[in-house]
Amino acid sequence: MAGKWPVRQEQATNPGRATATAIRPGHSRPERSRLRAAWTLALLTTLCAELTFTAVAVPITWLLLPLLLVMYGAGVLVIREAVVRAGVGWPGLVVLGLAYQVAEDGLGLQALTSPQMYGAADWGLRAFGVNWTYWESQIGVHVVLSVLLPVMITDLIFPGLRNRTYLGTGGFAATGVLAVAGVFGLRGIISATEDPGYRTPWEWTVAYLVAIALLALLALRVLPRLQPPDGLRSDRQAPRPVVVGFVSVYLTMAFLTTLLPLGLGRDLLLGDMMSQPLRLFVAAMTAIPFALLVLRWRRARNWTDSHRLWLIGGILVSHTAFMMPASLASAFVGLITICLEVVLLMALGRHMRRRETSSGRPRSRRQTLRNEF
């Protein structure tokens, strides 16, 4: 990587928070390991966001894998690299995840304003030319499924690269170009096919670009100066991992079914029991307490990688199960997908236990809490 980065004063009091000087990739891990981690993140992003969801009901989605890898993989890899360089941890991932969602659904797919795309305008509230119900649902899906979960899983697979960059300056720039190309690809291929001839109103295009710029500024310039101390709380205890898993299954399904019809069909689960504006409020009151609950758990002294695996598994399984009612074939494909998710996460858990046993040194939570879940 070119240039030197300033060492932050707080490194003396928080030795686990890696600074950009300390995390230059060539200093601690072989090039091959960093590239494997980058490819793993790109593939996991695509799998978690789309291929364990849309492809359950629409298997032809697998044919779009190259485009999805460019859009999802490159985009999230850029986000992760930028966050590590800025040293802002998960808050930066969340904020840049919001920008990523606007870029994909607003500029690329044009689904935030299109009256025809996916039939999203019929799912809930549409006002001022915007599909607000669809927008809120995709904020939850993309921030969690496209960004946070793939980064979490990659960190578990490559713990030695946690808080370290995967790419050099040239690779980072090239990946950024690919991410932008992916947005144009979504517009020129998927949007043009699903809603041919539609163009987002220019005022909304400007609003999207301004929002993306402001979110990037917040994540990479403001947050690094505002991060409060993040330590363990001896008075807090996280529940057993299995409880974390079941809570994440339930709340993920509750969020999705409040906003979207099961299997993306015609009818909402709760029908006319709630007004459209009320659905937005209820879904937010499901997602926000869930996020706060996870943040509370992760500061407990007994929060472990096993808890993380159950959290990840619960969200993924619920996300996939949501699509299964689309058809009999979707139920069959979804069941296979869920079994694969469980088997692979169990295998990762066994691998992590063997790795910890062979090293003989359990990782200190106090040293790594800030930038992980």
Of 116-125, 277-286, 338-347, 364-373, the one with minimum mean pLDDT is: 364-373
Q: Which tokens in the block code for residue 287?
A: 């997602």
CA–CA separation, 229 and 273 (whole Å) = 43
- Asked if residue 3 has pLDDT above 80, the reply is no
Its sign, for the CA torsion 162, 287, 257, 95, is negative
pLDDT, tens digit (0-9, with 9 covering 90-100), for 247-281: 999 999 999 999 988 888 777 777 677 888 899 99
- Asked if residue 24 has pLDDT above 50, the reply is no
pLDDT, tens digit (0-9, with 9 covering 90-100), for 96-130: 999 999 999 999 999 999 998 887 888 888 999 99
Intra-chain end-to-end CA distance of the chain, in Å: 27
pLDDT, tens digit (0-9, with 9 covering 90-100), for 167-192: 999 999 999 999 999 899 888 888 88
Element (H, E) at 5: none
Within a 10 A sphere around the Cβ of 70, how many other Cβ atoms? 22
Of all residues in the chain, what percent carry a pLDDT higher than 90? 53
The rounded Cα 353 to chain-centroid distance in angstroms is: 25
Of all residues in the chain, what percent carry a pLDDT higher than 70? 85
CA–CA separation, 108 and 126 (whole Å) = 19
CA–CA separation, 304 and 309 (whole Å) = 9
- Asked if residue 29 has pLDDT above 70, the reply is no
Give the CA angle between residues 129, 281, 322 to the nearest 5°: 85
Distances in whole angstroms, Cα of residue 56 to Cα of each of 61, 105, 294, 304, 356: 9, 20, 28, 31, 35
pLDDT at site 1 = 41
Distances in whole angstroms, Cα of residue 94 to Cα of each of 99, 124, 266, 291, 308: 9, 25, 31, 11, 17
- Asked if residue 27 has pLDDT above 60, the reply is no
pLDDT at site 94 = 95
- Asked if residue 160 has pLDDT above 60, the reply is yes
pLDDT at site 364 = 52
The answer to whether 38 and 166 have CB atoms below 8 angstroms apart is yes
Contact residues for 66 (Cβ-Cβ < 8 A; gap 6+): none
pLDDT, tens digit (0-9, with 9 covering 90-100), for 203-246: 999 999 999 999 999 999 998 887 665 565 666 788 999 999 99
